[in-house]
Structure 1
Amino acid sequence: MEVYASMEQVEAYFNNHASWFSRCAEPMKVNPLSENSYALVVGKFGAFGYDVEPKIGLELSTLQDRKYHIRTIPLPDYQAPGYEVDYKSLTRLIDGVDGITRVEWELDLVVELHFPKFIQRLPHALIQSTGDRILNQIVHQISRRLTHQVKKDFYKSLNIPFPPRK
């Protein structure tokens, strides 16, 4: 994404995630765990009559060298029922031209689901393709929504009108 603001303004915003992360992650439920970590309930998803409501712990690093990391952390007193998530992301801030800062995001996501026996009777290829499709939809939907919300919130924090979508 591109934002019409200086690198310093974008860095200051990202480093103050306590002021925007919970609000921008909606409709996901977010609860702070510490100064740099959150419990996040992603939503309810499923197929073949089997639903999960993933809840993960995320730790957000402070910005260093214009890079910002987020990774999964264990949630206190919580054992995920039937799934494991390993989330790692890297956000880079890049100086652009004419006061534009570019924000690039990379995601490394591994999700393991432990299905009940009635699902394991289905063909493995069907289970795999359905799981991949659902996961891709979730990541795409959350990424688009979160990007839009962060950008909108960033401009609002600076009292700058939100530019129209291209």
Structure 2
Amino acid sequence: MLSKDQDYQTLDTTEQVMSVTSGLVNTEDLISNIDAGKPITFYCRHSDCMEMYAPSDTVAEYLNCHSKWFVRCAEPMKVQPLGQNGYALVIGRFGAFNYEVEPKIGLELLPPDEGVYKIQTIPIPDYNPPGYDVDYRASLQLVECREEDVSIGSLQTRVEWELNLAVHIQFPKFIKRLPQSLIESTGERLLNQIVRQVSRRLTRKVQDDFHGSIGVPFPKK
């Protein structure tokens, strides 16, 4: 969702976010060299909000019909529906240390429970992630408030959300020869950059799509 970072730069999710060395090696060519030992885990905790200029029940109705907007708003990520509430997403191609991955994860958008929406990882049928595992847990809630200085309307709903993300990666043996502190710092910096940039793009698209669906212009910031 929305990131407050001022150093945001536009990123096509199909390009590499970070390349410590030139000439990244494709994951498929390295599967046989994956270290079967303990994976290295990277964590990301992120929270923010998404502003919607409409009553909370209107926003809730839109969010509940995610099959009508999620695939469209997630572009340029590749998205495939999984059942009633699930989606398989190809996030993009990212890499560092002469090693790259193209993460593909399954996400389930659960119906609200006492006003709280949750998103969690689910398995993708007939897909075995090559050397990585993702644990994605997010929660969202709607907070309705009045803003006297809002020119569009006095009623605003804030979609407040938080994300807890853990990514477990089985690196090739040549990566394990690097200092673990360097691997961890680089990996977490890369993970946080991906989350910020993907969230910001998705937030903006959802805001534009929602306000367009109710015929209310969304201010450009």
Does the aligned pair in 2 maintain the 1:66–1:94 contact within 8 Å?
no
Q: Counterpart of 2:80?
A: 31
How far is the alpha carbon of 1:63 from its aligned partner? 2.3
Q: Counterpart of 1:140?
A: 196
Letter in 2 for 1:144: R
1:149 equivalent in alignment to 2:208: no
Percent identity (aligned): 58
1:16 equivalent in alignment to 2:65: yes
For the pair shown, which has the larger CA radius of gyration, 1 or 2? 2
1:93 equivalent in alignment to 2:142: yes
1:46 equivalent in alignment to 2:102: no
In 1: Cα distance, 2:120 partner to 2:179 partner? 33
Letter in 2 for 1:38: Y
1:105 equivalent in alignment to 2:133: no
In 2: Cα distance, 1:36 partner to 1:136 partner? 26
2:200 partner SS: helix
How far is the alpha carbon of 1:2 from its aligned partner? 1.5
Q: Counterpart of 2:133?
A: 84
In 2: Cα distance, 1:2 partner to 1:47 partner? 34
TM-score (norm 1): 0.97
Instruction: Please give the per-residue CA displacement for 1:23-56, whole angstroms capped at 9, x wherever unaligned.
Output: 1111111000111001011100110111100001
Letter in 1 for 2:106: G
Give the aligned CA root-mean-square deviation in angstroms: 0.9
Which of the numbers 132, 140, 159 marks the counterpart of 2:215?
159
Q: Which runs of 5+ in 2 are unaligned?
A: 1-49, 147-153
TM-score (norm 2): 0.73
Q: Which runs of 5+ in 1 are unaligned?
A: none
Aligned residues: 165
Larger helix percent: 1
In 2: Cα distance, 1:28 partner to 1:131 partner? 21
